[in-house]
Structure 1
């Protein structure tokens, strides 16, 4: 008996006031379309829904989520609804904001769903809710790269990976986390392929123009982010480096302006920012190279020289290590109007 003969698979999507409406209703729309939208467009014959999707929340009363988008839940967690698939979509949370102490009944219900055999999926910052349940402790997980420090500080038992677009928490693959804001696209494709068929996932992706982000999250991550700390010497060094990163002899220059011993500065810099001096300098240069690739047609060798790397081969290797892409691939991804002519690598 095939899946369509078995009937639709039940899915519950969690919604709370912090939920992002685009992720919530995007998932509802795409999953409900599986088994029907392509069939109606191409064969002009009615298809069969492959999923039965409902919204669950801490209370059954209507409310508004992120940006005032209305939500009318089908059920509340107190009703003890059951489904084989549970999805935690993106949340509007600051990069240092967790869910500690919020929605204890919801957290307990999620744990019960997992214990009862449900497969759990999170999109973007929905992983923060999943981490709050404790189910990610000791497991690998991803979320938007902007939450790397939050996971390090608040959920240290989670092995956070900012690079991939999807991460399986363990060998059973019953917990799956997806990366950045539009990672719900990847998650929807994965759920349809896994719980229906890869062919149907491809058909839905074609109709909705959904792109699988096989390049992962590294190309989208900002390599330079200001870290809150109280070391005024290090802060002055960060500002000096932001102005002089293109110059030669930068490390000696920043040590001279800091007026502290080099070994002391390197130790304090690492403690305050989480990066070594050389890593911070490299990140500044690669960020500038990304900007040049995004905004113009300057050859890669000239971009390498512009950010103070005289060896273009070294620059290419460093760029790929930092972004996951070659400079030419990065340019095509973020400046598709330009047809880069330089060779790969």
Structure 2
């Protein structure tokens, strides 16, 4: 059986799009006859990542990582993140054995510059060097592919996302006893998510925030009329989505936004800015409203039928996303073998 080693610095107990994507990929890819081995910080002592303490960085050395990879004997190696494990794996594998592919999940330069005075050009230059060493770099959307290509990233391939439509689906019950309409946001409550842009809007009904993060406490104090429900997962989260009338996505920095397709699968139309992520997921499909005036988008989204949201969600399946992942790795390996033969 073919074996793939997936290396990630983002892993449980984190709750974010990267972790959820890798968890589901690990399940789905086995149906393609591929064995999965995961190299994660769970195998090592860790310390919290500066400015993002939910991420635990592995404390280990390159020799230990080398022995771990040699013991795994993978046919393919995929590096999902640019953290310590990803960097050490790239050094071990580069130029030897199967080489490696990467994926670009997070607009790290934008996140870093939102916290520290670090020019985005420096971060992008470093990221470009890292990802261009691989056989292919997988990105979730066409907008991101064009953006990175313009910055000099090579061998970019689309790897979209899926949504579990058996879990995220419309519900008849309304579990939130709040004045309607209900405008909801789900995700990490942090500065880069631009949540204040949503909370500052003058909207009828109720505003609901589902999630946790470093600015949750300050937002609770500044917006006492907003309903902050904390972190929810699984069935509880799906029921909350379905209780909303509009899903509001104020982020300007996400590369995709898994929460967008989860909301759509629950029959909830989206209001967002016309930026990377929403442009690719919503676009002109009629499943949401994109506008530089977020309040205008929120109010207009109230008129969108839930059927339109469901129709768009049906385009995002994990089977299709996993097929894209497998195809990209196989194509990258064929290119490698052709170059070696030449």
Common fold, TM-score beyond 0.5?
A: no
TM-score category of the 2 structures, normalised to the smaller one:
0.3 to 0.5
Q: What TM-score do you get using the length of structure 2 for normalisation?
A: 0.32
Looking at CA atoms only, which structure, 1 or 2, has the larger radius of gyration? 1
- The structure with the largest helix share of the pair is 1
TM-score for the superposition, normalised by structure 1? 0.32
Higher relative contact order (CA closer than 8 Å, sequence separation 6+): 2
